[in-house]
Amino acid sequence: MILMILQRLGLGVLTLVLVSVLVFAGTEILPGDVAAAILGQNATPESLAALRADLGLNAGPFVRYFAWAGSVLQGDLGQSLANRQPVADLLWPRFWNTMALAAYAAVIAVPLAVGLGILSAAWRGSLFDRAANVIALATVSLPEYFLGLLLILFLSVQFGLLPSLADTYAGMGFPAWLRATTLPMLVLVLVTVAQIMRMTRTTVLAVMDQPYIETAFLKGLKNGRVVLRHAAPNAIAPIVNVVAFNMAYLIAGVVLVEAIFNYNGLGRFMVDAVSKRDLPMVQAAAMVFAAVYVVLNMIADIAAIALNPRLRHPRVKG
């Protein structure tokens, strides 16, 4: 068990190293000139050259990568090129805003999705099962920005129930914050509920095809009791995996949702940084997203090992 956990941790660290290389390479190939983006179109060649030298942009990419990676390992995310403020001071408030929105969506999405998936498996082939699968397939197929625009059109423009923009500010009351963030929360819930529900249904049905489930039915146990007492507990490990994967999406996949609703989170922070060619901000935001994604997937792997006796105690061949 401990060896497996250490292996997952090692893979996580290796993944973050590879991601850091890809993030740095990706920011290197972004079109445009950082110095020109900062100084504007009227900047002279001398001032552009001086700024590039001041920012260290004249050094080779390998030198800049190792300097940046070394700073990140020491907890220094660098300095914003646009306003010369520490990136950490700008990034972490947005990160916690994103975490708050993700938590709001998760509290609603996870129990709803797991419950619907179990009911759909228990009532396999029923009208409820078919309707739930059609709705889930429709919401999964639609892009997040399209779902967001539909919700804005109907819930904000047509009926005026909710604000179209998720404008939040420091010191905002909790009820006002809930109302302001309900539309982006609904988009995230629609996407994640569909994925978790379909996976839960598939996993529970796979368990229900096992011989011991047939034995439970032959003993005269009712369908609901068989599903809740025998099938669902044995399907918990894959369900935990898909829930953790979708929690990673809630945090790392909110870029479009935050941009649509103008929510002051890490996703919009990253979009603004890309538009300004503020490379340290882009790199820091991308690494935070990657770290959260990797950590949540490691938690899912470790939870799957802890919940599955066959993984905790693998058979030795030979």
CATH topology for the 87-312 domain: MetI-like fold (1.10.3720)
Indicate the DSSP class of residue 160.
Answer: -
The 10s digit of each residue's pLDDT in 138-196 is 888 888 888 888 999 999 998 888 888 888 887 888 999 999 999 999 999 988 888 88
* Other beta carbons within 10 Å of 72: 16
Name 86's bridge partners: 79
pLDDT, averaged across the chain = 82
* Proportion of the chain above pLDDT 90, given as a percent: 11
pLDDT at site 258:
87
Element (H, E) at 197: helix 174-208
Average pLDDT in the 66-89 region?
A: 83
Cβ 87 vs Cβ 77: under 8 Å: yes
70 vs 217, more confident: 70
Among residues 264, 318, 303, the alpha carbon closest in space to that of 96 is found at 264
pLDDT at site 12:
82
Domain boundaries, the chain: 35-76, 87-312
Average pLDDT in the 194-223 region?
A: 80
**Nearest-angstrom CA–CA distance, 167 and 294:** 30
Cβ 286 vs Cβ 23: under 8 Å: yes
pLDDT at site 248:
80
pLDDT at site 191:
86
Proportion of the chain in helix, strand, coil states, percent, rounded to 5 = 75, 0, 20
Element (H, E) at 212: helix 211-218
With 60 as the cut, is the pLDDT of residue 314 above it?
A: no
Q: Which residues contact 186 (CB under 8 A, 6 or more apart)?
A: 151, 155
Q: How sure is the predictor about 111, in pLDDT bands with cuts at 50, 70 and 90?
A: very high
* Other beta carbons within 10 Å of 266: 29
The residue type found at 307 is L
pLDDT at site 105:
92
Q: Determine phi and psi for 79, rounding to 5 degrees.
A: -125, 135
Cβ 257 vs Cβ 267: under 8 Å: yes
Cβ 183 vs Cβ 164: under 8 Å: yes
Cβ 257 vs Cβ 187: under 8 Å: yes
Indicate the DSSP class of residue 17.
Answer: H
Among residues 154, 140, 237, the alpha carbon closest in space to that of 190 is found at 140
pLDDT at site 318:
47
